[in-house]
Amino acid sequence: MESQPPLEVDRVVKKYSQGAATIAALNGISLVVDPGEFVAIMGASGSGKSTLLHAIAGLIDVDGGRVLIAGQDLSELSDVPLTKFRQRNLGIVFQAFNLIPCLSAEDNLRLPATNGPDLDRQVDVLLERLGMTGRRNHKPAALSGGEQQRIAIARALICNPAILLADEPTGSLDSISGTQICRLLRDLVDEQQRSVVVVTHEPHVAMWADRIVVLKDGTNLAEFPTDGRRDPQSVANQYQSLLGAEVVA
């Protein structure tokens, strides 16, 4: 039997009431992400990209269609099973890091994990892989923005999720730190066959993906491959031609 893809979004609809009107933030979006694939979701403000990521993460209910993670339809899970499923199968990275200030870097990354015989080894491996071994005992205030995001990524990976989701992961970082985080995400795909989905409006972030999906008004507008080129201007040009709006690389 063919294995299920890590992520399948099947004609998902999400509606919100706005006064007397009903707005479809997502209007029949479909998306499949394969094992070891890096997908960037782009779109203008209000296109539905963050709403889509929240639906994929099971943070909001959808009004139609299905979101399947490793074959599991999220709508079939009640609150507590959904929380446990999300913890085991999804890693989520946000722009704001969301680290607990009073905890060390190591304690922050351990938060989602349950104690087990291999946990200490997993922590050591992740800290080394992300270049944070020497900063493990530092609290967030003593870490740079890039270092805090590395710990947030490590925390998202500690339960070995089927897919890693990142919402504007470089939005709070300078360009050098942002490039380091993008390269790290790319390495996770290439070296560990992780599946990664990143929401961004930045061509210099999207260029690290294998495929770019463009949303407009809550629907799939188009998609295109990057062909392995790390060329933000090429991404910006294709994105601009699809949206018909000015995009700066």
20 part of a folded domain: yes
89 part of a folded domain: yes
User: Residues of the chain with pLDDT > 90: what percent?
Assistant: 70
Tokens representing 159 are: 């339960």
Q: What is the pLDDT of residues 121-170, one digit of tens each?
A: 999 999 998 889 999 999 999 999 999 989 999 999 998 888 999 999 99
CB 123 within 8 A of CB 106: yes
CB 105 within 8 A of CB 132: yes
Pick the closest to residue 193 from 1, 3, 55 (CA basis): 3
How far is residue 132 from each of residues 99, 148, 157, 195, 202, measured CA to CA in Å? 15, 10, 14, 22, 26
- According to the model, what pLDDT value does residue 1 have? 41
Q: Which domain holds residue 76?
A: 7-34+46-179+195-201
Q: What is the pLDDT of residues 61-93, one digit of tens each?
A: 999 999 999 999 999 999 999 999 998 899 999
Number of domain units in the chain? 1
Local confidence band at 248 (pLDDT 50, 70, 90 cut-offs): very low
User: Residues of the chain with pLDDT > 70: what percent?
Assistant: 97
184 part of a folded domain: no
- According to the model, what pLDDT value does residue 60 have? 94
- According to the model, what pLDDT value does residue 127 have? 92
- According to the model, what pLDDT value does residue 209 have? 97
The residues, ordered by sequence, that sit 6+ positions from 84 with a Cβ below 8 Å of its Cβ are none
56 part of a folded domain: yes
Pick the closest to residue 28 from 7, 11, 16 (CA basis): 11
96 part of a folded domain: yes
Interatomic CA distance for residues 249 and 235, integer angstroms:
8
CATH of the domain at 114: 3.40.50.300
Q: What is the pLDDT of residues 189-234, one digit of tens each?
A: 998 899 999 999 999 999 999 999 999 999 999 999 998 888 999 9
Tokens representing 148 are: 């805090």
219 part of a folded domain: no
**Is 177 in a helix, a strand, or coil?**
helix
216 part of a folded domain: no
The answer to whether the pTM exceeds 0.95 is no
**Is 42 in a helix, a strand, or coil?**
strand
218 part of a folded domain: no
